[in-house]
Structure 1
Amino acid sequence: MTDDRGYLLDNRRTEAGTRFEAISELFDQWTFRHLEALGAGPGMRCWEVGAGGPSIPAWLGARAGEHGRVLATDIDVSWTRPAAGGAVEVRRHDIVADPPPAETFDLVHARLVLVHLADRDRALRTMVDALRPGGVLLVEDADPALQPLACLDEHGPEQRLANRLRHDFRALLADRGADLAYGRTLPRLLREAGLDGVRADAYFPITSPACGVLEAATIRHVRDELIAAGHATPDEIDRHLDAIAGGRLDITLAPLISAWGRKP
């Protein structure tokens, strides 16, 4: 990272729970579709990296059944813990700093994780190494540089303010070491890591209530940082949150790029 202040959207804030719920509503069905197509099912051994909320580990656990296993890890498992039990083990683990799990897996998945890491190359290597022969890696990450706007239809001052705040928020992310063009590199990186049959696609929510919920929670989460960096005034942030609450903005997100491949 460019500094030592850590992840901008850390899990210790109360807004993190709201963000995880909104991300789950927006992306879980997309993720589940991929996991199911890649063979998530009875008896599988799965590693969910940077799990965040409980929804994906719980779904994988239900699919794996009594003879399967799901290891769900994160540097802070406060929000992941409700998924623990049955096939699901929840464990605190730093994908970059800690030794990898001793076991190998049929399926490894990470969503919206690597884009934020300083040593994302090392994390990717660790996940590839954790696959058994024939195992599948699915990585899903955003590419904010592909679509930088919060409001595609910038028709008034509220939309212009939303787009400026989105730009400034992403400047904060980049300052913490995030790679805002990471998503597009995933197919190449998976091929270079030695995986076969690499494919990728993308999901791009244009507008939904969950987009507004996620935007509001994110802005509240980084409010102090935006003000301290001179990106926004308290009044501008309050006006933006009021516009979201009033349903006057069609908030959109960056594309979520899903890429997968199989270990020979």
Structure 2
Amino acid sequence: MMLTDGHLLDHRRPDAGQRSDALAALFDPTTFRHLERLGVGSGWRCWEVAAGGMSVVSWLAKRAGPTGRVLATGPDTSWAPPAVRPPIQLRVHDVGADEPPAEGFDLVHARFVLAQVPDPERALRTMVKALRPGGRLLVEDADPTLQPLACPDEHGPEQQLANRVRRAMCDVRAEQGAELAYGRRLPRLLREAGLRRVEADAYFPLASPACGAFEAEAVGQVREQLVAAGRVTEQDLDRHLANAAAGGTDLATAPLISAWGRKA
């Protein structure tokens, strides 16, 4: 969940597919739970913003059915399979700079998007504008400062190393311009954008097998910067990733804050 070129997550990276798989394994269940609660069903028109994989898009398409529409957008769509069938449609779109790709959506969903764009307020206005009256918006973003530990149960040297690496990663991300406390602001931002019946919750997995894969991807994105800054050594990182792969460190992720509301 890093800034790339000051903009959205880079889905063109060679490891983007692995990162998407890890994100899906960790966070799809809670995302699907919220989408079910919002009532996504047959005939719905849905916009998946800055999609980086097919898991949520496919879930929405199954729920919307042949009479619905699922538009998946992003600054790059190379992550999508060669043949995408209705009701799924793909379009290149930059939510942080472009006007909405259409209006009248029953649902707009964005996960790990708003905190990654240069102008999140504009991106949020674009999403709200795309909704029909009464349409639902679900936005989800991380908040590492709410739960900053890689291992909440710091009972030994492996866990202590993991937490040292996590703190260093947060420092590097902050220096790169990432807003680490963005997730907690989502309920207020949705209300300020004019949405009604705003609610939110937080979720973070602990000791999931996918946490190790996600940790490896996250460390890989900033490995050079971590070492160059002198916060950790190459040997520290190799040892930490080996511990994570072994599955005995009970790794956790930053909390995912999910906030939702309806357009008046």
Asked if the contact 1:57/1:83 (under 8 Å) is kept, the reply is no
SS in 1 for 2:106: strand
Shift of 1:46: 0.5
Shift of 1:171: 2.2
Which is further off, 70-79 or 169-178? 169-178
Asked if the contact 1:81/1:90 (under 8 Å) is kept, the reply is no
Q: Please give the residue correspondences for 1:107-256 in structure 2 after superposition, counting only pairs within 5 Å.
A: 107-256=107-256
SS in 1 for 2:70: strand
Q: 2:55 aligns to what?
A: 55
Q: Please give the residue correspondences for 1:94-113 in structure 2 after superposition, counting only pairs within 5 Å.
A: 94-113=94-113
Asked if the contact 1:118/1:178 (under 8 Å) is kept, the reply is no
Asked if the contact 1:208/1:251 (under 8 Å) is kept, the reply is yes
Shift of 1:34: 0.9
1:23-45 Cα offsets, whole Å, 9 max, x none, are: 11111111111111112111110
Q: 2:10 aligns to what?
A: 10
Equivalences, count: 262
SS in 2 for 1:151: coil
Asked if the contact 1:196/1:263 (under 8 Å) is kept, the reply is yes
Asked if the contact 2:99/2:126 (under 8 Å) is kept, the reply is no
Q: Tell me, which stretches of 5 or more residues in structure 1 are unaligned?
A: none
% identical aligned pairs: 62
Shift of 1:174: 2.1
Change (3 A) 1:102 1:57: same
How far apart, CA to CA, are the structure 1 residues paired with 2:197 and 2:83? 31
Q: Tell me, which stretches of 5 or more residues in structure 2 are unaligned?
A: none
Asked if the contact 2:113/2:141 (under 8 Å) is kept, the reply is yes
SS in 2 for 1:12: coil
Shift of 1:83: 8.0
Q: 1:28 aligns to what?
A: 28
Asked if the contact 1:8/1:176 (under 8 Å) is kept, the reply is no
SS in 2 for 1:53: coil
How far apart, CA to CA, are the structure 2 residues paired with 1:69 and 1:85? 11
1:171-218 Cα offsets, whole Å, 9 max, x none, are: 232233321111111111111111111111121212210111110122
TM-score, structure 1 as length reference:
0.93
How far apart, CA to CA, are the structure 1 residues paired with 2:14 and 2:206? 26
Shift of 1:75: 1.7
Amino acid at match of 1:255: P
How far apart, CA to CA, are the structure 2 residues paired with 1:181 and 1:78? 30
Asked if the contact 2:41/2:64 (under 8 Å) is kept, the reply is yes
Asked if the contact 1:57/1:70 (under 8 Å) is kept, the reply is yes
Change (3 A) 1:84 1:169: farther
How far apart, CA to CA, are the structure 2 residues paired with 1:140 and 1:168? 24
Q: 1:40 aligns to what?
A: 40
Change (3 A) 1:8 1:37: closer
Shift of 1:164: 1.6
How far apart, CA to CA, are the structure 2 residues paired with 1:230 and 1:111? 32
